[in-house]
Amino acid sequence: DAGITQSPRYKITETGRQVTLMCHQTWSHSYMFWYRQDLGHGLRLIYYSAAADITDKGEVPDGYVVSRSKTENFPLTLESATRSQTSVYFCASSSRNHEQYFGPGTRLTVT
Amino acid sequence: KQEVTQIPAALSVPEGENLVLNCSFTDSAIYNLQWFRQDPGKGLTSLLLIQSSQREQTSGRLNASLDKSSGRSTLYIAASQPGDSATYLCAVEAGTALIFGKGTTLSVSS
């Protein structure tokens, strides 16, 4: 089924571990985004990508790394997880008219 | 810096009532405005997209308006139903990414 998927849906990890969150879209959208959603802060942009091999920082990029070797995939890596990175992470992609479509989210807990 | 505000933060109405959700933004130089719905523990579902050159968009019982000059948008929900209970998020595109408000949580009682 076409759409945008994220994996894993739930993840518990320990402080200092590396974690990678996966995002896959089947629409061949050029733009893809990573947001985090926290109580009190709402949704904030971490990184985005305009095309394969083109990425740029958003509002809260520290502690995160992204790559985009293929148009359909946009993984987000936490190089050394911290408790402050406990959050719900959403991946999104946008169509030519800039309408953004969101994945189901990954709930990450760092202990 | 663009800021998006949604008032009220929460709203409770009886079934059948027509209601309006408000969204305001500080910088009128936006590309578009998008309304989303989010159910508890779920992702965001796009409801309506209004391009900066447009004044309103309609989808079923939903109507969204945009007044760039005053920095305001409204989402009108007609004949509300319990299934409309969710958090409604407004977001503006300034540059590439979306800037979100913190949402209005709507509860419709039967």
Q: Above 70 in pLDDT, residue A66?
A: yes
pLDDT of residue A2: 65
Percent of chain B at pLDDT exceeding 70:
100
pLDDT, chain B, mean: 95
Do the strands A106-110 and B10-14 form a parallel or antiparallel pair, or are they unpaired?
unpaired
Say which residue, B12 or A39, is predicted with more confidence.
B12
From the list A31, A43, A44, the residue facing B96 with the nearest CB is: A31
Among B43, B46, B97, the residue with its CB nearest the CB of A90 is B43
Mean pLDDT of B2-25: 96
pLDDT at B97: 83
Q: Chain A closest CA to B43's CA: distance in Å?
A: 4
How deeply is A1 buried, as exposed, middle or buried, from its count of CB atoms within 10 A (0-12, 13-18, 19+)? exposed
Tokens of B26: 């500080």
Contact A92, A32 (CB under 8 A): yes
- Residue-level pLDDT at A96: 83
Does B51 sit within 8 Å of A97, measured CB to CB? yes
Query: How far apart (Å, rounded) are the C-alpha atoms in residues A55 and A74?
Result: 10
According to DSSP, the residues that pair with B109 across neighbouring strands are B14
Quote the CA–CA distance of B50 and B108 in Å, as a whole number: 25
Chain A residues touching residue B31 (CB < 8 angstroms): 98
Phi, psi of A83 (to 5 degrees): -60, -30
* B107: amino acid identity, one letter: S
Q: Looking at beta carbons, which residues of chain A come within 8 Å of B49?
A: 97-99
User: Chain B closest CA to A103's CA: distance in Å?
Assistant: 6
**Each residue of B14-40: pLDDT tens digit?**
999 999 999 999 998 999 999 999 999
Identify the CA nearest to B50 among candidates B70, B60, B29, B65: B65
Chain B positions touching A99 (Cβ under 8 A) are 32, 34, 46, 49
At B63 the pLDDT is 98
- Give the pLDDT confidence score for residue A95 in this predicted structure: 85
Asked if B42 and A105 come within 8 Å (Cβ–Cβ), the reply is yes
Using the beta-carbon criterion (under 8 Å), do B46 and A50 form an inter-chain contact?
A: no
Percent of chain A with pLDDT over 90: 91
Q: Is the pLDDT at A1 greater than 60, yes or no?
A: no
Q: Which of B5, B50, B25 is nearest to A98 (CA)?
A: B50
> Is there a contact between A104 and B42 if contact means CB atoms under 8 Å apart?
yes
Mean pLDDT of B51-56: 92
